Amino acid sequence: MGTLIIVLTYIAYVFIVVVYTVKVLAWLRMPPHIRWDLYPVIHEEHYRYGGSYYEQQEWWKKPRPKNTWRSLLYSLKDNFTMGEYYERNRLYWLFLFPWHIGFIFIITFHILCFFAAVAMYGGLDIGAVSAHLAGRVFYYVLLCTGGIAFIAGTFGSLGMPIIRLADRGLRTYAMPMNFFNYLFFFTVYGSGLLSWLVLDPNLDEYRTYWLGLITLTAPALHTMTLIHIILFDIFLIYLPFTRSTHYITRILAYYFIRWDDEPNLPGSDLERQIAGLLGRKVSWEGNHIPTGKSWAEAATERGFPEGKKEKP
């Protein structure tokens, strides 16, 4: 069983990283689009009230300062706080927030476990009474992240189906997959919670498990912990089939769509890209469109506005 756990875990991590990467690259490889920015644009100087560089005369002659760090912090902060939900639907936020915190913390917990195992392999003793400060810090940080993940995730997984059924709008758009996810995620977090509370209050077994992973040695684990780890591995494999990539793509959408205020200045790379896109053929069949011609031709050709049938 220990060997199976190691193999399954590696497969799960490789799978999620590969599929997430493919999805993100596919997102990024879509062609540049027409500008569709929406204000406030957080990197703008006057972002507090939503102002843009268009508030200046002859804006193309003026500097356009961009505060990229501010916009990055803004988008990351929202991944954690979900402030818009807190403001607009607090009851929903009450369950959605722990549901997401559970997700973020359980991933963080496992990443930290990896580093803890590396440290243990290097000789560090990790525990509440470790001789090393780093060992004690690791111990408490792992205890906190794991504990928060299990408690928040279990609470969120229980609350989400309730709010989805109770709220009229959410209920209208509910689908069987939502409830499957809640149930499945509840078993993942719940098994971890149970294992922690009943068998492994110091979360020692996860460090043993990760040490086994990096040394390729089958770890000896309690059945309850094993069940949780198998469920967690399946959870990792399942995630790419859900909308969970939104943790990444939402930030891309902010940067490449909502906050994309890059002007097309003469002679720029952007202008060259657009010139290429205008050379692509259109196959739309409306009467006013010359099907089969390029965008540039369709946009400049005379006679078509009145329809193909009326064309001499």
Partner 1 sequence: MKKEMKIDEFCRPGEQLAEIDPAEIIPLPPPYDRIEKAPIRKLAEEQRKRMDASLDGVVAIGLTPPASPEEEKAFIEKFLAGLEKLFSADDNWTFLQPLTHTLEYCVKCQICSDACPTYLASGRQDIYRPTMRPEILRRIIHTYVKKDHLLLRKFQGSDIDLNWQTLARLAELAYRCTLCRRCAQVCLLGCDNALVSREIRKVFSQQMGIAPKELHEKGSVQQLRVGSSTGMTPAALKNIMEFVEEEIEEKTGRKIKIPVDKKGADMLLIHNAGEFMAWPENLEAFAILLDAAGVDWTLSTEIAGYDSVNYGVWYDDIQFARVAIRQSMAAKSLGVRKISLGECGHAHKAGIVVADRVLTGDLNIPRESILPLLEEIVLRGRIKLDPSRNNFPVTLHDPCNMVRLMGIVAPQRRILKQICPQFREMEPHGVENYCCGGGSGFAITQSTNFPDWRSAVSGRMKMKQILTAFEDVPGPEVKKYLCAPCSNCKGQFRDMFEYYGVWEKSGILYGGLVELIVNAMTNLKKPFIQWEWH
In the region spanning residues 103 to 132, those forming contacts with partner 1, defined by CB under 8 A, are none
CB of 85 to partner 1, least distance (A): 6
58 in the Ramachandran plot: left (φ > 0), alpha (ψ -120 to 50) or beta?
left
User: Which residues lie closer than 8 Å to 20 by C-beta, 6 or more apart?
Assistant: 240, 245, 248
Query: Which residues ranging from 69 to 98 are in contact with partner 1 (CB under 8 A)?
Result: 78, 82, 84-85, 88-89, 92, 96
Q: Which of 70, 90, 281, 311 binds partner 1 (CB under 8 A)?
A: 281
Q: What's phi and psi for 310, nearest 5 deg?
A: -90, 0
**Alpha helix (H) residue ranges in 29-172:** 68-81, 83-88, 90-121, 133-166, 168-172
Q: Which of 166, 280, 292, 311 binds partner 1 (CB under 8 A)?
A: 280
Q: Is 293 helix (H, G, I), strand (E, B) or coil?
A: coil
Give the nearer residue to partner 1 in terms of CB position, either 222 or 246: 246
Question: In this structure, what token pair is assigned to residue 197?
Answer: 């509370």
Question: In this structure, what token pair is assigned to residue 284?
Answer: 């739309």
Stretch that binds partner 1, among 103-111, 143-151, 182-190, 278-286 (CB under 8 A): 278-286
Site string for partner 1, 292-311 (x = CB under 8 A): ---x--xxx----xxx----
The secondary structure element, H or E, covering residue 16 is: helix 2-28
Site string for partner 1, 236-275 (x = CB under 8 A): -------x-xx--xxxxxx-xxx--x-xx-x---xx--xx
Q: How far apart are CA 136 and CA 139, in angstroms?
A: 5
Give the nearer residue to partner 1 in terms of CB position, either 131 or 168: 168
Q: How many CB atoms lie within 10 A of CB 271?
A: 13
Query: Which residues ranging from 23 to 52 are in contact with partner 1 (CB under 8 A)?
Result: 27, 30-41, 44, 46, 49-52
Query: Which residues ranging from 170 to 209 are in contact with partner 1 (CB under 8 A)?
Result: 170-177, 180
Q: How far apart are CA 281 and CA 291, in angstroms?
A: 8
Give the nearer residue to partner 1 in terms of CB position, either 202 or 245: 245
